[in-house]
Amino acid sequence: MKKYKEMTIDDLISRFLKEQTNENFADLIDRLINEEVIILDRGLNSDLKKLNDEAITPLVITDSEKKNYIPIFTNDDHIGGDLKKLTKVNHLFKDLCNDSVVDNNYIEGYVLNPFSHGLKLPKEVIKIVIKYKEEDK
């Protein structure tokens, strides 16, 4: 079996979804934390807090439980249909994990590749990444 650092992000996501172990999840987050991901900007004014220094209004999607998530994509291949028309903004995953998401009552977290993998990364995961970033300083 390949070492996780040699695997693609998509392979790590698929591996975790198939075998949901703590080790597979840790490997995925460890690899994802410094990877560039894509968020989609709706280009609207909103009361959502800024995710970072850029004033963007991220696309928000609602799951079957009526919970709101910000979709993030590992590459353009995971963005489908009319969403390809929206402005793409690239960020490091760790930079998107901040208190503005954790403290937001409207957002439950992120969903990674919602139309292919659909891996939810709730606020608890974001808090872990924030803690990891602080320890890494």
pLDDT score, position 44? 60
pLDDT score, position 113? 95
Distance separating the N- and C-terminal Cα atoms of the chain = 32
pTM for the full predicted model: 0.83
Q: Where are the domains of the chain?
A: 36-136
pLDDT averaged over every residue in the chain: 86
Percent of the chain with pLDDT strictly greater than 70: 88
Q: Which helix (H) or strand (E) holds 129?
A: helix 123-136
Contact 129, 97 (CB under 8 A): yes
- Cα pseudo-dihedral 91, 29, 61, 105, rounded to 10: -90
